[in-house]
């Protein structure tokens, strides 16, 4: 019997030890007990990190939608699978049961087939957070087409690059999207992208905003009439364990975005298992992850993970500040959300606003709070804990990546004691390690090094689409026989991990290795500071010196900036040491961020280096306008 649902720290350690001692039996038991297999595997794991090649459940056959939908029909047919919460609170919420989801996915799958899509074809999905997004993803999976979801806030150029890279035959989009009080004409962006994307033969268009758009004869089709005419049942395509399930692009710091390719069986098993444990999900719970399905977080923990567990998952179309900054909490109250999963960037933005936005709502349904995407600073952690969790709701700080497919290091709520800013302990089956600069593993504690993983896990990406060499170079060549995450981490005396940020962002000052997160954390503790980012710039004596970009809570801060600079450096001296003091501090109204809320330090670094002529691709930024402001005020 596997211990699918971990309930105590003792049990965690027991399960963890077993997962390391005998990984194959460990994963085999989990796979056996919880899913429908059309054919059993003949080998659980085969791996060689030097190639790199990893296969899980070789020989097995299955379909992930049979496991996420059909499997639940006898027992949960009338249970709500998806709650769709529209952008506009006046618009009606939709509750889609498992039975209805089954029908809608089948109809959509039949439309795809009718338009010539077959197993192995790539389908680009460029949709806002409406039910059609979830349904089209699942429809692709049902017929074995490989979905490539592109976040519907990306530009035509970014979309075109992604369509061409994996040669999609089809694009699924909508006339437009609603975000707060804005309407965006998505189809116009698609048309622009398709001016130079000869692989695309068909465009399916869902109706959302009723904007006036052009339909190209023979290429573009309105979705609704096709769905209405489609047959309501669609047999699954039986997939091999290692058949590709999806491609999802993640931006590299330079060059082309990387199309991370995930496969079927291992991904399903790992995502289902982590979802259940990280959120301590119970049958009656309502779960809400605020991410967009355009990110890995949405793939794994809005769709596949919850649905594989027969859960009720909320899909929110809008933004946190529309119609006002209370929207998230209004939704929590309305649907009695039990597990709430969001990103530090959202928490910081919410924490800046008046408390009355929170206090108006009843948040007593919340049992678990989650965070993902970047290191959470201590102040934000405490706000989340005190104000949202009322001091008695565990926070799971989950560390993982597009490449890892699922959560890798995280507390298990009610099981793992938490410490702010620590992602704590590895998940069963995950063997992290820290490496020093010479390529040696650091064995003892405490330790500070580059975070690697030394054994395969079921949901790891298998390759970069069309470029296996780049996959090998990026992840498996820095350290022999290890997957290198690109992140730095500390490990304390008890074995808890704290992620310190991307190692590309590590700055060596006078020979000292400084991670960005702990320093930014110290700066953010200043009561006048809302957020900060630090980068290095060349310095004659120290090699590198630190340049800090700081956003103040109140733009009309009355203290003079000279004093503020002194106070910030005093704080850094206290918390980290004088070595980490900033040579330059620039106050700014914003920081350049990716759409998923990560600071683009590459741009800040170039500005600090005074190399502003070529900032690289800024088209995927959330707030490109802030770049000009920062350049103008650079020190």
Instruction: Among 61, 88, 401, 448, indicate the residue that binds ligand 6R9 (CB under 6 A).
Output: 401
Within 10 A of 243 (CB to CB), how many other CB atoms are there?
Answer: 18
- CB closer to ligand 6R9 out of 238 and 349: 349
* Nearest distance, CB of residue 274 and ligand 6R9, angstroms: 12
Distance, in Å, from the CA atom of 176 to the CA atom of 543, rounded to the nearest integer, reads 50
Instruction: Among 30, 200, 289, 372, indicate the residue that binds ligand 6R9 (CB under 6 A).
Output: 372
- How many residues would you count in the chain? 635
* Nearest distance, CB of residue 275 and ligand 6R9, angstroms: 14
Distance, in Å, from the CA atom of 205 to the CA atom of 225, rounded to the nearest integer, reads 11
* Nearest distance, CB of residue 151 and ligand 6R9, angstroms: 11
Choose the stretch contacting ligand 6R9; rule: CB under 6 A; options: 124-132, 274-282, 397-405, 584-592. Answer: 397-405
Each residue of 558-597: b (16+ CB within 10 Å) or e?
Answer: eeeeeebbeebbebbeeeeeeebbbbebbbbeebbbbbbb
- For tokens 């439309």, the residue is 111
- CB closer to ligand 6R9 out of 144 and 394: 394
Instruction: Among 398, 424, 516, 588, indicate the residue that binds ligand 6R9 (CB under 6 A).
Output: 398
Instruction: Among 85, 285, 292, 374, indicate the residue that binds ligand 6R9 (CB under 6 A).
Output: 374
- CB closer to ligand 6R9 out of 176 and 294: 294
Within 10 A of 617 (CB to CB), how many other CB atoms are there?
Answer: 17
- CB closer to ligand 6R9 out of 301 and 587: 301
Binding flags for ligand 6R9, 470-489, as an x/- string (CB under 6 A): ---------------xxx--
Task: Report CA torsion sign: 445, 450, 455, 461.
Answer: positive
Within 10 A of 410 (CB to CB), how many other CB atoms are there?
Answer: 28
- CB closer to ligand 6R9 out of 330 and 401: 401
- CB closer to ligand 6R9 out of 27 and 399: 399
Binding flags for ligand 6R9, 495-514, as an x/- string (CB under 6 A): ----x--x------------
| SS3 category, 591 | coil
Instruction: Among 399, 422, 496, 497, indicate the residue that binds ligand 6R9 (CB under 6 A).
Output: 399
Instruction: Among 81, 423, 535, 627, indicate the residue that binds ligand 6R9 (CB under 6 A).
Output: 423
Contact 79, 312 (CB under 8 A): yes
Nearest alpha-carbon partner for 569 in 557, 552, 583, 556: 583
- CB closer to ligand 6R9 out of 56 and 399: 399
* Nearest distance, CB of residue 41 and ligand 6R9, angstroms: 28
**407 token code pair:** 């959560």
Contact 27, 44 (CB under 8 A): yes
Distance, in Å, from the CA atom of 252 to the CA atom of 598, rounded to the nearest integer, reads 13
- CB closer to ligand 6R9 out of 170 and 433: 433
- CB closer to ligand 6R9 out of 207 and 401: 401
Asked if residue 251 binds ligand 6R9 (CB under 6 A), the reply is no
Distance, in Å, from the CA atom of 430 to the CA atom of 458, rounded to the nearest integer, reads 10
Instruction: Among 80, 174, 339, 402, indicate the residue that binds ligand 6R9 (CB under 6 A).
Output: 402
Instruction: Among 144, 375, 413, 515, indicate the residue that binds ligand 6R9 (CB under 6 A).
Output: 375
Distance, in Å, from the CA atom of 361 to the CA atom of 327, rounded to the nearest integer, reads 10
DSSP H stretches of helix in 448-538: 468-471, 516-524
- CB closer to ligand 6R9 out of 250 and 612: 250
Distance, in Å, from the CA atom of 623 to the CA atom of 95, rounded to the nearest integer, reads 34
Binding flags for ligand 6R9, 307-336, as an x/- string (CB under 6 A): ------------------------------
DSSP H stretches of helix in 432-560: 468-471, 516-524
Choose the stretch contacting ligand 6R9; rule: CB under 6 A; options: 96-104, 113-121, 396-404, 622-630. Answer: 396-404
* Nearest distance, CB of residue 297 and ligand 6R9, angstroms: 5
Q: Which of residues 291-310 bind ligand 6R9 (CB under 6 A)?
A: 295-297
Distance, in Å, from the CA atom of 462 to the CA atom of 51, rounded to the nearest integer, reads 11
Asked if residue 596 binds ligand 6R9 (CB under 6 A), the reply is yes
Instruction: Among 165, 397, 520, 531, indicate the residue that binds ligand 6R9 (CB under 6 A).
Output: 397
Choose the stretch contacting ligand 6R9; rule: CB under 6 A; options: 23-31, 290-298, 527-535, 623-631. Answer: 290-298
Beta strand segments in 454-579, E: 463-464, 483-491, 497-502, 507-509, 512-514, 529-539, 543-552
Q: Which helix (H) or strand (E) holds 75?
A: helix 73-76
- CB closer to ligand 6R9 out of 150 and 585: 150
Nearest alpha-carbon partner for 132 in 77, 176, 166, 90: 176
Which residue lies nearest ligand 6R9, judged by its C-beta?
Answer: 402
DSSP states of 98-157: HHHHHHHHHHHHHHHHHTT--TT-EEEEE--SSHHHHHHHHHHHHHTPEEEE--TTS-HH
The number of residues that bind ligand 6R9 (CB under 6 A) is: 21
Contact 622, 598 (CB under 8 A): no
Choose the stretch contacting ligand 6R9; rule: CB under 6 A; options: 28-36, 67-75, 87-95, 367-375. Answer: 367-375
Asked if residue 249 binds ligand 6R9 (CB under 6 A), the reply is no
- CB closer to ligand 6R9 out of 88 and 474: 474
* Nearest distance, CB of residue 426 and ligand 6R9, angstroms: 13
DSSP H stretches of helix in 538-617: 561-575, 601-608
DSSP state of 376: P
* Nearest distance, CB of residue 240 and ligand 6R9, angstroms: 26
- CB closer to ligand 6R9 out of 320 and 486: 486
| SS3 category, 71 | helix
Distance, in Å, from the CA atom of 102 to the CA atom of 627, rounded to the nearest integer, reads 46
Task: Tell me which residues touch ligand 6R9 (CB under 6 A).
Answer: 250, 295-297, 372-375, 397-402, 423, 485-487, 499, 502, 596
């Amino acid at each position: 019997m596997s211990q699918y649902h971990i309930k105590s720290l003792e049990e965690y350690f027991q399960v963890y030890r077993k997962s390391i001692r005998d990984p194959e039996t460990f994963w085999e038991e989990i796979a056996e007990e919880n899913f429908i297999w059309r054919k059993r595997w003949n080998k659980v794991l085969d791996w060689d990190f030097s190639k790199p090649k990893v296969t899980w459940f070789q020989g097995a056959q299955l379909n992930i939608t049979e496991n996420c939908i059909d499997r639940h029909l006898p027992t949960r047919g009338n249970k709500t699978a998806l709650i769709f919460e529209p952008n506009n609170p006046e618009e009606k919420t939709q509750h889609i049961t498992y039975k209805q989801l089954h029908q809608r996915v089948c109809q959509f799958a039949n439309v795809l087939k009718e338009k010539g899509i077959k197993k192995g074809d790539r389908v680009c999905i460029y949709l806002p957070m409406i039910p059609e997004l979830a349904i089209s993803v699942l429809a692709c999976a049902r017929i074995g087409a490989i979905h490539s979801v592109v976040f519907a806030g990306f530009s035509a150029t970014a979309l075109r690059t992604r369509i061409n890279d994996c040669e999609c035959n089809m694009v699924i989009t909508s006339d437009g999207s609603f975000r707060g009080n804005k309407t965006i004409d998505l189809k116009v962006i698609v048309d622009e992208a398709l001016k130079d994307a000869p692989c695309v033969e068909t465009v399916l268009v869902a109706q959302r905003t009723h904007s006036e758009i052009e339909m190209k004869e023979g290429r573009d089709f309105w979705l609704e009439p096709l769905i209405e005419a489609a047959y309501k049942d669609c047999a699954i395509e039986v997939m091999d364990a290692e058949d590709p399930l999806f491609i999802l692009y993640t931006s590299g710091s330079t060059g082309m975005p990387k199309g991370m390719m995930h496969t079927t069986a291992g991904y399903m098993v790992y995502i289902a298992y982590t979802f259940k444990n990280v959120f301590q999900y119970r049958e009656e719970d309502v779960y809400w992850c605020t991410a967009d399905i355009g990110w890995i977080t949405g793939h794994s923990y809005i769709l596949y993970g919850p649905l594989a567990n027969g859960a009720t998952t909320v899909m929110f179309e809008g933004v946190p500040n529309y119609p006002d900054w209370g929207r998230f909490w209004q939704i929590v109250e309305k649907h009695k959300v039990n597990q709430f999963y969001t990103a530090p960037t959202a928490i910081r933005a919410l924490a800046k606003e008046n408390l009355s936005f929170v206090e108006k709502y009843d948040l007593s349904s919340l049992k678990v709070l989650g965070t993902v995407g970047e290191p959470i600073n201590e102040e934000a952690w405490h706000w989340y804990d005190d104000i949202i969790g009322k001091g008695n709701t565990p926070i799971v700080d989950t560390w993982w990546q597009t490449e890892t497919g699922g959560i890798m290091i995280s507390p298990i709520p009610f099981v793992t004691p938490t410490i702010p800013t620590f992602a704590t302990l590895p998940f069963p089956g995950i063997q992290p390690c820290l490496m020093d600069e010479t390529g040696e593993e650091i064995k003892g504690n405490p330790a500070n090094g580059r975070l690697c993983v030394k054994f395969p896990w079921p949901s790891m990406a298998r390759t970069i689409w069309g470029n296996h060499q780049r996959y090998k170079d990026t992840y498996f060549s820095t350290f022999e026989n290890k997957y290198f995450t690109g992140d730095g981490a500390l490990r304390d005396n008890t074995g808890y991990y704290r992620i310190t940020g991307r190692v590309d962002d590590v700055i060596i000052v006078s020979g000292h290795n400084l991670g960005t997160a702990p320093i930014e954390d110290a700066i953010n503790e200043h009561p006048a500071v809302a957020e900060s980012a630090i980068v290095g710039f060349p310095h004659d004596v120290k090699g590198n010196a630190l340049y800090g970009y700081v956003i103040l809570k109140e733009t009309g801060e009355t203290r003079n900036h000279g004093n503020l600079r002194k106070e910030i450096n005093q704080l850094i001296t206290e918390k980290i040491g004088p070595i980490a003091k900033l040579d330059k501090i620039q106050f700014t109204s914003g920081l350049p961020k990716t759409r998923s809320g990560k600071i683009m330090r590459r741009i800040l670094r170039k500005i600090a280096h005074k190399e502003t002529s070529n900032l690289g691709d800024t088209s995927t930024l959330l707030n490109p306008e802030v770049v000009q402001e920062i350049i103008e005020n650079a020190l």
